[in-house]
Structure 1
Amino acid sequence: MERIIFEIPLRNGKTAKIYQGAFGSGEHVTTKCCIGHLERMELSGKSMLDVGCGTGILGICASLLGVGSVVGYDVSFDACRTAVQCNELNNVTDNHVACGFETCINGSFDIIFANIYYDILLAISDFIYGSLNEGGLLVVSGVPIEEHYDIRKHYMKYGLEVLDLQIHEDYCTVLFSKGRLAH
């Protein structure tokens, strides 16, 4: 059986290719918004964490856009297997995939993406904040629009500053910074 491959054109002329097999085909508005943020960020030499990586789409796009290194993790074995296969499809070797919970991640990152469920964003907020370098950027997405105020308020209690809020039909995406912005 032939697998469907989704192609995501990037602003730098490269195209990410994704097998379906987990969340993250590039068609959902929250994924598109996250990719848009990636395309506007200075990625060279930066480290990135993709929380709930699904197909690995954000890590693959970041890699193709020139990020220094990226780690993604997911609790779903099928998602992690798909992410590894998508890495191979794109000849990406610097998007490292870990299967497990946030406890499998040790380190800090310049950029964190978390395009996941609202309740998980709340439950692991200490981990996310603690993993974000000073001057780092955090993008949370997949938040139902009726919860956007609460998620902003929750992350702002850590001292994060809202740089951008995008409200879509059913979901929102928020870009935060931690302290002084990294250059």
Structure 2
Amino acid sequence: MQNYLEFNFKIEPLQPWNEILMAELIEIGFDSFTEEHDGILAYIQTELFKEEELKEVHLLQNPEIAISYTFQEMPNINWNEEWEKNFSPINVENKVSIRAEFHENQNLPHEIIIQPKMSFGTGHHATTYLMIQQMLDMDFKNKTVLDMGCGTSVLAIFAKQQGAGKTVAIDIDEWSVENSIENAARNNVELEISQGTADNLGSENFDIILANINRNILISDIPTYVAVLNNGGQLLLSGLCFFDVDDILEVCNEQKLTLKKKLQREEWVSLLLEK
């Protein structure tokens, strides 16, 4: 088990800034969150925390929002236990259920069963919801698919359930790779899963690329995604707040991508683009 720091952020007003703060904290290495009535608890591996990066978080410098925090060491935290206490099933359009094995079957047309090794906040729920919502209207039959920054590989699993052909799932974190292997087996689908980043993409091309990550990584990696995306292929993005959209679309326009569909849920956004 890893040693973690727990930060207790008090936020006034709470909405929508709690979700936006989580998005900014993810970019500097925080990976797990629990919502409180007056703020959030945020967790980061002790060895990854850099005080100077926290001080540069934009939201903490906004005079219109009152944010204070304290922190403490949390050695040997049991993330499975934390996750089970805080995670509830996701229901997308009454068509797709994303749940754990200990949750009751919702009897929807599609079901994905996952057991993450780490907890995650509702921001991830919203972006996962948006990605699945977009995927419901996409044609995956026999398409080659890349799930970049796969996390639990829930998107790759759903792509396979929708008829995708070869499906590759990549994440920078070892725990995500291990968890993806477990979740693929749990859902009886075959994925090619590996640890890495966009820099590890070779000459293999894809019909559909899924990337639910965050603004900075997407801005950096979109040109690489485009390079391995087939002509006429689709790039589906999320992990974005509404105020990130213009910057993302600027990069997409430079890469000659066409915006086909934009969805928003609370302050989170998903963009479907075509090459």
User: Which one of 67, 81, 96 corresponds to residue 10 of structure 1?
Assistant: 96
- Runs of 4+ residues over 4 Å off in structure 1: 1-9, 22-27
TM-score scaled by length of structure 1: 0.87
Name whichever of 21-30 and 71-80 sits farther off. 21-30
Question: 1:28-177 residue pairs with structure 2 within 5 A?
Answer: 28-93=125-190, 95-106=191-202, 107-177=204-274
Structure 1 unpaired stretches of 5+: 179-183
Please tell me whether the aligned partners of residues 52 and 114 of structure 1 are also in contact (alpha carbons under 8 angstroms).
yes
Determine the C-alpha separation between the residues in 2 that align with 1:110 and 1:40: 15
Cα distance in structure 1, aligned partners of 2:170 and 2:253: 24
Unaligned stretches of 5+ residues in structure 2 = 1-79, 98-107
> Quick one: higher RCO (CA 8 Å, sep 6+), 1 or 2?
1
- Tell me the matched-pair count: 177
SS at match of 1:124: helix
Please tell me the residue identity of whatever aligns with 2:117.
Answer: G
* Percent of residue pairs bearing the same amino acid type: 27
* Aligned twin of 1:181: none
* Larger Rg, first or second structure (1 or 2): 2
* SS of the residue 1:19 aligns to: coil
Alpha-carbon spacing, 1:164–1:22, altered in 2? closer, same or farther (3 Å)? farther
RMSD: 2.4
User: What is the CA-CA distance between 1:131 and the residue it aligns to?
Assistant: 1.3
User: CA offsets, 1:134-157, max 9 Å, x none?
Assistant: 000111101121111111121111
The alpha carbon displacement at 1:31 in A equals: 0.7
**Structure 1 position 24, deviation (Å):** 7.5
